[in-house]
Structure 1
Amino acid sequence: MTPFGTSDDVVFLAALCAALLLLVAGIVERRRHRARLGAVEVRVAVNGSRGKSTVVRLATGALDAGGFRTLGKTTGSEPRLLRAWEGEEEPIHRRPEGPNVGEQLGVVRRAADLGADALVAEVMAINPDYQRSFVDELTAANVLVVTNVLGDHLEEMGPTTADVAAAFGDAMPDRGTVVIAPGPHADALRSAARARGNTVVTADPEAVDPAVLRGFEHLVFAEHVALVLALADVLGIPADAALLGMRAAPVDPLATRLLPVGDPERPALFVNAFGANDPTSSLAVWQHVLDRGHASDGLVTIMNCRGDRIGRTRQFVEEVLGHLPIDTLVVTGSATQPVLRAVEHGDLRVHEVRDYTDLAPNRVVEALLPLLTDRVLLGVGNLHGGGVEIVRGLEQHAVGQRAGTSG
């Protein structure tokens, strides 16, 4: 027996005190977070299926050109903080368990400490509940940009794209502004936004001159530029200033480019579409290659598979690979059986298959070297799980100047 009772009583009191301290600390941190958010005048969250990192980068540049001291945050291929007023960026070092709430708290703290008056942040959550928390609490967004609604991450938000649109519609600010692109689910997004008292602005990709897109050194779609122009208009930034800012924005190191590689006299053209990991975006990249006048003869398609994305692999077999004029199919990564079975059963017709299942990415690059002459190499499927290393390996064989989207 102790003055406080039994030893069990002491343990209980200690646990209770610890819980109370954690509760108080949480309340204090929450108030600090809200105060920091209040110091940042413009808070833009960017959600959607694909293109979020690109839009964050373009928007960060546009707002900076419009006079806002803007901090951007991407969570795509490599999470980054973008200090637009310095033209610099820095990596976000994550813990082994991956992204968490504390990461965004730290970003808001950094924005306040740096005196930013605008924050443009990519929604890093896939789970619909976490998306709501990100928009409402972690960012307290007063502007939301929704890039598109595509058949990606259907396991978490599906099973249909209508369900994905509903998830994005549930993660909207109150009495703010929502910028959307035209599309089959635009009406659903518009209704969800208005139900929460938001003003809805619909971007106009048709108004973007193709010559504007060719002014970028990486692949940018008209929808991306139109969304940022609409955002700029909401904030009173002239279109010409916004475009200058977009062009000056730092480019993602793993952005899709048309990169000459291999033979200096007759180089191949490597197109990194690994990050466009849904069928619609992947085929749009291929269409862009054709629109730039590059021939489809001898097309080498590198399909990089992931063991934890078997559903995506099957989807690509059905909705992407069969729609490409593949001459040589290179299969890399793990859990590649759906692709190889489709070829074996005649569902995919290609001239040659190279099975590099579980082969180290540097060995894959070595095996590709004899193919780097006068043809297009298109990487699709997954950026992670070997895609990043393949991209960087092929970049070591770049020739001349990097090609932009003008090809």
Structure 2
Amino acid sequence: MTGLILCLGTLALALLVWEDRNVKQYRRSFKHVIYVNGIRGKSTVTRLIDAGLRNGGWRVFCKTTGTDPMTIGVDNIQRPLIRRGRANIKEQIKIMRQAAQENAEILVIECMAVDPALQAVSQHRMVCSDIGVITNVRLDHTAEMGPTLDDICDSLSNTIPKGGILYTADTQFFSRIQANAAAIGCRVELAQPTPDLPQIDFPENLALALGVCLELGVPRATALAGMLQYQPDPYALSAFRLSGGAIFINALSANDPQSSRLIYERLQTKTKFSHRKLILLINNRPDRGYRTRHMILLARSLMPTELWLIGASQFASERAFLRALPHAAVKKFHQVSDLPLDQLGEDTMVFAAGNIAGPGRALIERVREEGRPDVL
């Protein structure tokens, strides 16, 4: 028995050494690795960077986690990433191998780890990026990253590249990020939007992507022209006109109250829909109980006329929302097909938030079938 244990231990060690050697070999094949982290906007920023660099003549391989994991090969074709079992950060090694096989010069890859220790391992033992991105620091993933924004900032800082360059658009936490980066010899750049940026996406996301492209020598006009053609995440922020005339806003991928509120405020300013009756539709995940508290914060700030609940923990959520918003009508729906979307008229807007998982996907598929895309 002792001999068997020793043999297995030796084999495991050999596999680790072999894997480490391969990872280093893959990394040496790239001129640059760009690792995108943050609470909101990671997938979009990853895709925008990919599009800008690609238009600048670089051979780019891109991988996003997003709602569904996707790759964009050197051939600029988007492909779904098929997982066998649960997500595992070792997936990043597979992506590095695939990018190396396609002779990519630059790998642009979204961080898939939430746990602080796994974030550190993914950066310093796997992808070893020389350019990092922290999109923003928002109140989410508190169970893994910690209960405060400072905790979350420090957790995200685990992917800062040692001796590299980091871009962020978070003005509130810039000083803390800069201090964390200085400890490992990393230069930090604050990407700030300018009024002349095209309205492709949120200006902060565009400014981040543009900053990275400029860092790698792509002219501004060339990078922006590429970003105009970028491939958005299939479930990214979108708007639809329902059959009865109501507006439906898909903000299900914005899971934290600050991001959801910013989306609502910017759309309100841009589209002038403040005269419409607001229905806040919230989809709950069974493994994200803390987000109910976050969505209560959102509901209090938006003050909807009605609040519709789908997904998990509806009875507990209903009690919590009734206590927080006694003026609002709270309604539960067990099936997406039960939602009376076709009965909503032009005086109504549905703002969907919370999470895309579970019935969220079915909801968006139904809205796509019954409604038509609207311009945000």
TM-score w.r.t. the length of structure 2 is: 0.95
* Alignment-derived partner of residue 69 in structure 2: 79
* Alignment-derived partner of residue 143 in structure 1: 131
CA distance 1:242–1:208, shift in 2 (3 Å): farther
* Alignment-derived partner of residue 313 in structure 2: 335
1:368 deviates by: 2.3
State the one-letter code of the partner of 1:289: L
**Number of equivalenced pairs:** 375
Structure 1: unaligned runs, 5 residues or longer = 1-10
* Alignment-derived partner of residue 233 in structure 2: 252
Measured in 2, the distance between the counterparts of 1:208 and 1:68 equals: 27
Is 1:364 paired with 2:338?
yes
Question: Matched residue of 2:78: which SS?
Answer: strand
Is 1:196 paired with 2:184?
yes
Task: Output one character per residue of 1:228-249: Cα deviation in whole Å (capped at 9) or x when no partner.
Answer: 1111111111111111111211
1:348 deviates by: 4.2
Q: Does the 8 A contact of 2:89 with 2:113 survive in 1?
A: no
Measured in 1, the distance between the counterparts of 2:287 and 2:273 equals: 34
State the one-letter code of the partner of 2:10: L
Measured in 2, the distance between the counterparts of 1:158 and 1:50 equals: 17
Match of 1:35 among 20, 25, 49: 25
* Alignment-derived partner of residue 160 in structure 2: 172
Is 1:403 paired with 2:359?
no
TM-score w.r.t. the length of structure 1 is: 0.88
Task: Output one character per residue of 1:248-299: Cα deviation in whole Å (capped at 9) or x when no partner.
Answer: 1111110111222213xxx222111111000110011111221222323212
Match of 2:363 among 386, 390, 395: 390
Alignment of 1:28-107 (within 5 A): 28-83=18-73, 85-96=74-85, 98-107=86-95
CA distance 1:354–1:260, shift in 2 (3 Å): same
1:170 deviates by: 3.2
CA distance 1:320–1:239, shift in 2 (3 Å): same
Is 1:228 paired with 2:228?
no
Question: Matched residue of 2:16: which SS?
Answer: helix
Q: Does the 8 A contact of 1:73 with 1:80 survive in 2?
A: yes
1:354 deviates by: 2.2
Alignment of 1:315-354 (within 5 A): 315-317=294-296, 319-345=297-323, 347-350=325-328, 352-354=329-331
Is 1:381 paired with 2:354?
yes
Name the stretch that deviates more: 164-173 or 148-157: 164-173
Question: Matched residue of 1:163: which SS?
Answer: helix
Match of 1:311 among 282, 286, 290: 290
Measured in 2, the distance between the counterparts of 1:181 and 1:113 equals: 33
Name the stretch that deviates more: 189-198 or 22-31: 22-31
Task: Output one character per residue of 1:76-117: Cα deviation in whole Å (capped at 9) or x when no partner.
Answer: 21111112x433211111122x11133111100000001111
Q: Does the 8 A contact of 2:36 with 2:132 survive in 1?
A: yes
* Alignment-derived partner of residue 12 in structure 2: 22
1:372 deviates by: 5.5
1:343 deviates by: 4.6
* Alignment-derived partner of residue 5 in structure 1: none
Question: Matched residue of 1:258: which SS?
Answer: strand
Q: Does the 8 A contact of 2:260 with 2:298 survive in 1?
A: yes
Question: Matched residue of 1:43: which SS?
Answer: strand
Structure 2: unaligned runs, 5 residues or longer = none
Q: Does the 8 A contact of 1:180 with 1:203 survive in 2?
A: yes
Aligned residues with identical type, % of pairs: 30
Measured in 2, the distance between the counterparts of 1:172 and 1:133 equals: 11
Measured in 2, the distance between the counterparts of 1:261 and 1:51 equals: 26
* Alignment-derived partner of residue 141 in structure 2: 153
CA distance 1:364–1:190, shift in 2 (3 Å): farther
Measured in 1, the distance between the counterparts of 2:104 and 2:159 equals: 24
Q: Does the 8 A contact of 1:75 with 1:122 survive in 2?
A: yes
CA distance 1:322–1:115, shift in 2 (3 Å): same
State the one-letter code of the partner of 2:305: D
Task: Output one character per residue of 1:339-394: Cα deviation in whole Å (capped at 9) or x when no partner.
Answer: 422454363422x33221xx133x234x3221254422110111113111111111
Q: Does the 8 A contact of 2:123 with 2:158 survive in 1?
A: no
Q: Does the 8 A contact of 1:303 with 1:379 survive in 2?
A: yes
Measured in 1, the distance between the counterparts of 2:231 and 2:345 equals: 28
Q: Does the 8 A contact of 1:43 with 1:120 survive in 2?
A: yes
Question: Matched residue of 1:100: which SS?
Answer: coil
Name the stretch that deviates more: 120-129 or 244-253: 244-253
Name the stretch that deviates more: 26-35 or 269-278: 26-35
Measured in 1, the distance between the counterparts of 2:172 and 2:273 equals: 31
Task: Output one character per residue of 1:189-220: Cα deviation in whole Å (capped at 9) or x when no partner.
Answer: 01111221112111012x1436x11xx3xxx2
Q: Does the 8 A contact of 1:313 with 1:338 survive in 2?
A: no
Question: Matched residue of 1:121: which SS?
Answer: strand
CA distance 1:23–1:372, shift in 2 (3 Å): farther
State the one-letter code of the partner of 1:209: D
1:67 deviates by: 1.3
Task: Output one character per residue of 1:117-175: Cα deviation in whole Å (capped at 9) or x when no partner.
Answer: 10111111111111011111211100000000111111111211011111222332111
* Alignment-derived partner of residue 279 in structure 1: 257
User: Could you say which structure has the larger radius of gyration?
Assistant: 1
